[in-house]
């Protein structure tokens, strides 16, 4: 399970392709209640021309194929763009019915002026759903827990979206763009037969097009400022467990528009210009009010050093400013002013970053916005400048003379000196560190000199760990009992802290412990448990507990078979599939977990055989275990460490072998026999 800590989506709504209803299930339920009946009506000629079209290559598990896609973009001026989209899918399996639910995002700056849908059944008459049958709905729950957003969806339900039928739709959008940029996402999770994109520019305008994850397709020009692109037989990108984000894999074209006068306030062609654009929309937002100045003075009055003052202010914004997002219009990118955030004591990621920047400025410490995408791999050095971010953090310029021992999320910048990355939204990660979702990830450093895409540091694996020690005893019946001490750091700690933060019931508070025990023991009784440092994020989190497990050791004649690896599983079966792996395997972050178990064996027994030691080092990860006997104690130690955050497809077989080695070790048993 991936742990992610992120703010609300900041990406622009340049992706105008309708989403399947499975992604908006709650909306779909509401829509089902009120959807009107469809009308009989002929589908347009462009859809009927697809009835006998050959299907793109696909396998038997493919739910649908995109037969035809056409996007026509007309740039009217710097603040007005019109777009017409046509799409048609052939449904192949019941799971493809979702494509009969076109849903197009809209907001105050983006108006859907027309929406129609049709079905061409394999047998019988066509169905038509007209614009007046469309329903506009607000998203009932937005990922990231926004309180208010003006994003809505206009939806249709196309009837008879059944296997063998073709469903299609056409819609028109009129937009006042946040930036003069668009995206053509021509690759999907289903095969694409053909996809077209056309651009109409006013006289004297120019464009810059960049292809990602797909060979560049040259434009053809038809005169009068119009260009066309087309691709065909585009393979589907199917999901794999722990794969890179789709945003970093799908073939797409990002295209920017430029008027004759050159760059405008809502345009950019590179990361440096995008940084200037972002500085423009955030200008004046972190000016400190008198109340902020007074609060900074009172919070830091007793701090003896510059570093302790910085840490105090960071912890205030982390813990005392609630995460609540109110995003209207440009609010997906533009933060509220620091004074508003301070007064109301809430804000989203960019709001919290803004307030902290204002407070740090009052003690003479400068900081800079860093937009970033928490899905590592969504933005890379090959990505053209675009609004592909979903989070904002801060880069704090470390003053001269500040001790750096605890500041591990730091980078030596050639011009700015030492900068420390900090996420004010994640209240469970200690100051000086960042979560795995940010490490070795690319963010846009926004400074007075413009924007710069740079890689954030990767931290030591020891800072993200579970250290588990256990003193246990086995009786002749095979019953195992004893005490376990568990210490967690980094993401291993904040994930549990976030789960338990508002839990007051003791039974619910021990559920994470029960999950660990149930994943390793067929039966158990948790007899005692307590939590250590639940709210002290600057200290390691811990569990202390005792348990009993009947029949843990298995009998074989007069022998006892004992599994030294009592708790925790590091093996995974994600590569045990019939189909070959197509994409890299991504880890959440560096990890170093250590187990140390000591099991006192029953009186009258001795060790006859122990599992062999294991030493597996594949570079990207390593695993070392050892089982030993000392007097009447069987000891087991192991270390599991992840070094690289991505394993390429070429090394997938090595990773499979690595997990198999671990699985074999985790199943290994020691043999105990009665003493003569």
* DSSP string of 484-532, one letter each residue: EEEEEETHHHHHHHHHHTT---HHHHTHHHHHHHHHH-SS-EEEEEEEE
pLDDT of residue 138: 76
| pLDDT tens-digit map of 295-315 | 999 999 999 999 999 999 999
Residue that the structure tokens 């003493």 belong to:
675
Q: Is the pLDDT of residue 415 over 70?
A: yes
List 87's β-bridge partners, or say none.
Answer: 69, 169
- Structure-token pair, residue 453: 């895409």
- Strand 220-223 and strand 226-234: pairing? antiparallel
- How far apart CA 95 and CA 97 sit, in angstroms, is 6
pLDDT computed for residue 28 by the predictor: 46
**Amino acid 537: pLDDT:** 86
pLDDT the model gives residue 33: 44
**Distance (Å, whole) CA 161 – CA 93:** 10
What average pLDDT does the segment 441-451 reach?
A: 97
Tokens of 129: 């759903």
Whether residue 21 is predicted with pLDDT greater than 50 in this model: the reply is: no
Beta-sheet pairing, 103-106 with 391-397: unpaired
d(CA 315, CA 127): 59
Fill in the DSSP letter of residue 580: P
**Bridge partners of 82?**
74, 174
Give the contacts of 279 (CB within 8 A, at least 6 positions apart): 446, 448
What pLDDT does residue 466 have? 97
Q: What is the DSSP letter of 100?
A: G
- Which of 137, 119, 149 has the alpha carbon at shortest distance from 25? 137
Q: Which of 144-153, 430-439, 533-542 has the lowest mean pLDDT?
A: 144-153
d(CA 508, CA 485): 19
Half-sphere exposure of 11 (CA within 13 A, CB side): 18
* DSSP code at position 574: T
At 12 the pLDDT is: 47
The two beta strands, 252-258 and 181-184, are antiparallel
Confidence label for 661 from pLDDT (cuts 50, 70 and 90): very high
The pLDDT value recorded for residue 610 is 97
In this structure, the number of other CB atoms found within 10 A of the CB of residue 93 comes to: 12
Pairing of strands 206-212, 146-149: unpaired
Domains of the chain: 21-258 (2.60.40.3140), 271-459 (3.10.620.30), 462-674 (2.60.120.1130)
In 3-state terms the chain splits into helix, strand, coil percentages (rounded to 5) of 20, 35, 45
Helix (H) or strand (E) holding 454: strand 450-455
Output the six-digit token pair for 665. Answer: 């070790």
Average pLDDT of the residues of the chain: 91
Query: Tokens for 35?
Result: 């959807």
pLDDT-based confidence at 107, cuts 50/70/90? confident
Q: Kindly state the DSSP code that residue 441 receives in the 8-state scheme.
A: -
pLDDT at 498 over 60: yes
How far, in Å, CA of 263 to CA of 285, rounded?
A: 23
Whether the predicted model's global pTM rises above the 0.85 cut: yes
Cβ burial, residue 95 (10 Å; 0-12/13-18/19+): middle
pLDDT at 13 over 50: no
Residue 556: both structure tokens together: 């074989």
Torsion angles phi and psi, residue 631, rounded to 5: 65, -125
The distance in angstroms from the start CA to the end CA of the chain is: 49
d(CA 367, CA 399): 11
Mean pLDDT of 213-240: 94
pLDDT given at position 270: 94
Give me the sheet containing 621-630, strands edge to edge.
525-532, 541-549, 480-489, 465-474, 591-600, 633-642, 621-630, 614-617
Look at residue 96 in the predicted model and tell me its pLDDT.
95
The stretch 196-222 carries a mean pLDDT of: 95
Neighbours of 111 (CB within 10 A): 13
H and E: helices and strands count for the chain? 11, 39
Q: 150: which 2 tokens?
A: 């003006």
Split at pLDDT 50, 70, 90, the class of 170 is: very high
189-206: average pLDDT: 96
- Alpha carbons within 13 angstroms on the beta-carbon side of residue 46 total 15
Residue ranges with strand state E in 353-416 = 367-372, 391-397, 410-413
d(CA 468, CA 466): 6
């Amino acid at each position: 399970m991936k742990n992610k800590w992120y703010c609300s989506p900041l990406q622009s709504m340049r992706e105008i392709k309708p989403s399947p209803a499975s992604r908006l299930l709650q909306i779909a339920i509401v829509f089902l209640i009120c959807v009107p009946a469809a009308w009989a009506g002929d589908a347009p000629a462009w859809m009927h021309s697809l009835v006998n079209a050959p299907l793109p290559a696909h396998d038997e598990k493919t739910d649908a194929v995109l037969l035809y896609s056409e996007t026509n973009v007309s740039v009217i001026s710097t603040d007005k763009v019109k777009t017409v989209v046509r799409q048609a899918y052939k449904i192949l399996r019941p799971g493809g019915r979702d494509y009969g639910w076109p849903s197009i995002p809209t907001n105050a700056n983006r108006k859907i002026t027309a929406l129609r849908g049709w079905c061409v059944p394999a047998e019988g008459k066509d169905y038509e759903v007209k614009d007046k049958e469309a329903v506009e709905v607000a998203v009932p729950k937005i990922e990231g827990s926004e309180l208010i957003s003006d994003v809505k969806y206009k939806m249709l339900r196309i009837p008879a979206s059944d296997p063998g039928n073709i469903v299609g739709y056409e819609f028109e959008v009129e937009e006042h763009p946040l930036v003069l940029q668009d995206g053509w996402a021509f690759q999907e999770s289903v095969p694409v037969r053909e996809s077209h994109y056309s651009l109409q520019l006013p006289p004297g305008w120019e464009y810059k097009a960049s292809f990602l994850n797909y060979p560049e397709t040259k434009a053809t020009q038809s005169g009068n400022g119009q260009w066309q692109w087309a691709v065909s037989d585009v393979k589907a990108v199917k999901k794999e467990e722990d794969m890179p984000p789709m945003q970093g894999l799908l073939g797409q074209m990002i295209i920017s528009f430029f008027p004759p006068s050159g760059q405008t306030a809502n345009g950019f062609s590179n990361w440096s210009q995008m940084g200037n654009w972002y500085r423009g929309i955030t200008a004046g937002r972190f000016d400190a009010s008198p109340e902020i100045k007074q609060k900074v003075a009172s919070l830091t009055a007793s701090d003896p050093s510059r570093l302790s003052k910085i840490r105090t202010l960071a912890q205030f914004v982390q813990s005392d400013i609630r995460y609540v997002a109110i995003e209207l219009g440009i609010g997906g990118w533009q933060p509220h002013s620091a004074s508003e955030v301070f007064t109301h004591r809430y804000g989203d990621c960019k709001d919290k970053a803004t307030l902290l920047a204002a407070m740090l400025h009052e003690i003479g410490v400068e900081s800079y916005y860093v937009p970033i995408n928490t899905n590592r791999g969504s933005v890379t050095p090959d990505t053209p400048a675009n609004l592909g971010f979903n989070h904002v953090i801060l880069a704090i310029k470390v003053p001269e003379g500040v001790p750096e021992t605890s500041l591990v999320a730091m980078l030596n910048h050639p011009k700015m000196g030492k900068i420390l990355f900090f996420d004010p939204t994640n209240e469970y990660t200690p100051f000086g560190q960042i979560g795995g979702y940010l490490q070795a990830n690319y963010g846009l450093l926004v400074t007075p000199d413009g924007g710069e895409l740079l890689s954030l540091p990767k931290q030591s694996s020891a800072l993200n760990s579970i250290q588990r020690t256990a003193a246990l005893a086995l009786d002749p019946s095979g019953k195992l009992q004893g005490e376990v001490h568990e210490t967690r750091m980094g993401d291993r700690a904040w994930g549990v802290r976030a789960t338990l933060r508002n839990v007051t019931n003791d039974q619910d508070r021990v559920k994470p412990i029960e999950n660990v025990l149930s994943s390793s023991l067929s039966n158990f009784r948790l007899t005692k448990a307590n939590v250590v440092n639940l709210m002290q994020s600057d200290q390691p989190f811990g569990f202390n507990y005792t348990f009993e497990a009947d029949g843990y050791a298995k009998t074989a004649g007069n022998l006892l078979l004992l599994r030294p690896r009592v708790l925790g599983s590091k093996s995974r079966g994600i590569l045990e599939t019939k189909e070959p792996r197509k994409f890299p395997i991504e880890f959440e972050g560096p990890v170093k977990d250590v187990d140390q178990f000591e099991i006192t064996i029953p009186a009258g027994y001795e060790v006859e055989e122990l599992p062999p030691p294991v030493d597996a080092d594949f570079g990207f990860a390593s695993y070392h275990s050892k089982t030993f006997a000392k007097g009447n104690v069987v000891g087991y130690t192991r270390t599991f460490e992840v070094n690289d955050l991505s394993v390429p497809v070429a090394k997938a077989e090595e990773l499979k072998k690595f997990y198999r080695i671990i699985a074999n070790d985790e199943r290994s048993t020691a043999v105990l026999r009665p003493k003569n």
